[in-house]
């Protein structure tokens, strides 16, 4: 009896009702605020003497790992701060968000990476949505110009990586779908349709070459720059070339849903629905809808989960439910994911994990990198999903 009472107490603190299986948004955001205050206290200790380290990314050997602005994850913690400001309206969160957002502004000129959307749109983009700061608008536009330099007209796609040239000639990863929102935003802010055309062309080429007949996605597709032909289809973070890396599937459903929002091209809506149905109908999807790091990992159920993939999927499904005839199915699944993530099984106790909100994400299992740890992008998409859930209940759009 004592154990049962303790367990019930823990679930209530986490904002999870055993009876109704609903999330308690005020309790969750209160805990998120408390955790982020812990994070803000830990950051000066972690980057002492290293001013170039500006963003907390994960835990490494139990210690807070900070990264420089050039890291692909640098925009997520500023985004978390903006989400806290959005939910609470507290000036203190806006102040912190402005500080951490400013720390990565120089990335607007970094043409050596495709991750401009992750870095800039999750920070400056979220900030601009909430504040309409004209400086943020300028940063978004310049970042889109920089990202556009990576577009190859012959292939019709934006190059992802410049590293590992011994492996690939012109690699494109499914993650790159997430950077297109920055380009769509730039067209709306400037009236320059070139950004829009690049985004659409990239989405079309990816839809043609990245997906199998069952709508699972390859991670990396390598192209010939002279002919535009596909050279090979491989993986870098998945279990195998022909496996379905969970976060890759998440990027796909989120990315094509966003593309439908921006274009109203029903081919993108259909693609997003197919990907969502693949994810939700997969026989290896656990009952709590928090996927293993790869749907085809060999030792399921004894494989790490990927909470970051679950958070991205939930956020994408909420938006997809706005447009799809299968709205109830997708919203119910997204609710279930958030209910699962909001239990003690996946949520950090207040004061633990150096201030990260969620636990049990997987960065790159094949490299044994960031396995079963908190990750800043899991926290970002979790809060985004929670806010989208709230807006849907209030019948508001974002």
Dump pLDDT digits (tens) for 141-180.
Answer: 999 999 999 999 999 999 999 988 888 999 999 999 999 9
- For residue 326, being part of any structural domain is answered with yes
Q: What pLDDT sits at residue 48?
A: 87
How does DSSP classify residue 348?
Answer: P
pLDDT score of 21 more than 60:
no
Whole-number pLDDT of residue 167 = 87
Residue 395 pLDDT level (bands cut at 50, 70, 90): confident
Query: Of the ranges 14-23, 70-79, 117-126, which one carries the lowest mean pLDDT score?
Result: 14-23
Calculate Rg over the CA atoms of the chain. Answer: 20
Judge whether residue 79 has pLDDT over 60. Answer: yes
Q: 59: alpha, beta or left, given left = phi > 0 and alpha = psi -120 to 50?
A: beta
Q: In this predicted structure, what is the pLDDT of residue 166?
A: 82
CATH number at residue 17: 1.50.10.10
- Asked whether residue 299 is domain-assigned, the answer is yes
Quick one: which of 95, 276, 268, 243 has its CA closest to 181?
268
Strand partners for 67: 55
Please report how the helices 376-393 and 327-341 are oriented relative to each other, as an axis angle in degrees rounded to 10: 130
Give the tokens for residue 113.
């990476």
Checking if the pLDDT of 70 tops 90, the result is yes
Q: What is the pLDDT of residue 19?
A: 34
Q: Is residue 315 part of a domain?
A: yes
Res 247 pLDDT > 90: yes
Give the pLDDT confidence score for residue 66 in this predicted structure.
98
pLDDT at 18 > cutoff 60: no
Separation CA 182–CA 259 (nearest Å): 11
Query: What pLDDT, on the 0 to 100 scale, is given for residue 2?
Result: 32
Question: Is the pTM above the cut of 0.85?
Answer: yes
The closest of 202, 306, 183, 188 to 244, measured between CA atoms, is 306
Strand ranges inside the chain, DSSP E: 53-60, 63-68, 151-152, 157-158, 171-173, 220-223, 230-234, 361-364, 369-373
pLDDT of residue 310: 99
pLDDT in tens, 193-234: 999 999 999 999 999 999 999 999 999 999 999 999 999 999
When pLDDT is cut at 50, 70 and 90, the band that residue 299 belongs to is very high
Q: What is the mean pLDDT of the chain?
A: 94
- Would the pLDDT of 238 be above 50? yes
- Per-residue confidence at 397, pLDDT binned at 50, 70, 90? confident
**Region 383-396: what's the mean pLDDT?**
94
pLDDT at 130: 98
Query: Does residue 230 sit within a domain?
Result: no
Which residues are documented as binding site for substrate? 115, 175, 235, 247, 251, 364, 367
Q: Give the pLDDT score at 164.
A: 80
Name the residue with higher pLDDT: 5 or 236. Answer: 236
> Is the Cα torsion angle 145, 236, 307, 44 positive or negative in sign?
negative
Distance, CA of 288 to CA of 278 (rounded, Å): 16
Domain tally, the chain: 1
Which is nearest to 109 in space by CA: 146, 161, 54?
A: 146
219, part of any domain? no
Q: Which pLDDT score is estimated for 4?
A: 34
What CA–CA distance (Å, rounded) separates 385 from 381?
Answer: 6
- Residue 116 within any structural domain of the chain: no
Residue 327 lies in domain = 1-46+259-391
Mind telling me the catalytic residues?
115, 175
Quick one: pLDDT band at residue 382, thresholds 50, 70, 90? very high
Tell me, what DSSP letter sits at residue 175? G
Report the b/e string of 96-132 with b at 16+ CB within 10 A. bbbebbbbbbebbebeebbbbbbbbbbbbbbbbeeee
Contacts of 190 (CB under 8 A, 6+ apart): 141
| Whether the predicted pLDDT of 298 surpasses 50 | yes
Percent of the chain whose pLDDT exceeds 70: 94
12 has pLDDT over 50: no
Domain membership flag for residue 279 = yes
Which of 6 and 197 is assigned the larger pLDDT? Answer: 197
In this predicted structure, the answer to whether residue 9 has a pLDDT above a threshold of 80 is no
Quick one: tokens of 349?
Answer: 């106790």
In a domain, 14, yes or no: yes
């Amino acid at each position: 009896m004592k154990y049962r009472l303790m367990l019930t107490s823990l679930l209530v603190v986490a904002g999870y009702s055993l009876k109704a299986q609903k999330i308690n948004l005020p309790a969750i955001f209160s805990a998120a605020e408390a955790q982020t205050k812990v994070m803000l206290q830990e950051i000066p200790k972690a980057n002492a003497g290293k001013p170039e380290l500006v963003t907390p990314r994960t835990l490494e050997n139990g210690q807070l790992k900070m990264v420089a602005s050039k890291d692909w994850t640098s925009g997520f913690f500023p985004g978390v701060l903006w989400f806290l400001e959005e939910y609470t309206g507290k000036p203190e969160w806006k102040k912190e968000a402005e500080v951490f957002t400013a720390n990565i502004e120089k990335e607007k000129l970094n043409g050596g990476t495709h991750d401009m959307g992750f870095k800039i749109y999750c920070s400056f983009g979220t900030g601009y949505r909430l504040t309409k700061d004209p400086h943020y608008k300028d940063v978004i536009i310049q970042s889109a110009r920089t990202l556009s330099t990576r577009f190859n007209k012959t292939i019709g796609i934006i190059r992802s990586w410049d590293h590992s040239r011994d492996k690939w000639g012109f690699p494109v990863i499914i993650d790159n779908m997430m950077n297109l929102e920055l380009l769509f935003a730039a067209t709306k802010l400037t009236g320059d349709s070139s950004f829009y055309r690049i985004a659409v062309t990239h989405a079309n080429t990816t839809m043609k070459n990245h997906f199998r007949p069952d709508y699972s996605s390859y991670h990396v597709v390598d192209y010939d720059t002279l002919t535009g032909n596909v050279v090979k289809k491989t993986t870098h973070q998945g279990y195998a070339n022909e496996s379905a890396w969970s976060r890759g599937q998440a990027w796909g459903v989120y990315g094509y849903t966003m593309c439908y929002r921006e274009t109203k091209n029903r081919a993108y809506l259909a693609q997003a629905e197919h990907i969502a149905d693949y994810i939700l109908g997969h026989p290896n999807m656990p009952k709590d809808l928090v996927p293993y790091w790869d749907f085809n990992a060999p030792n399921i159920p004894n494989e790490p989960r990927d909470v970051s993939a679950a958070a991205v999927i939930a956020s994408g499904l909420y938006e997809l439910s706005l447009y799809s005839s299968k709205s109830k199915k997708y919203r119910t699944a997204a609710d279930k994911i958030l209910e699962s993530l909001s239990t003690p099984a996946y949520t950090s106790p207040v004061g633990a994990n150096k201030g990260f909100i969620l636990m049990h994400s997987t960065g790159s299992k094949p490299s044994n990198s960031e396995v079963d740890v908190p990750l800043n992008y899991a926290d970002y998409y979790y809060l985004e999903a929670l806010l989208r859930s709230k807006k849907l209940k209030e019948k508001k759009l974002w």
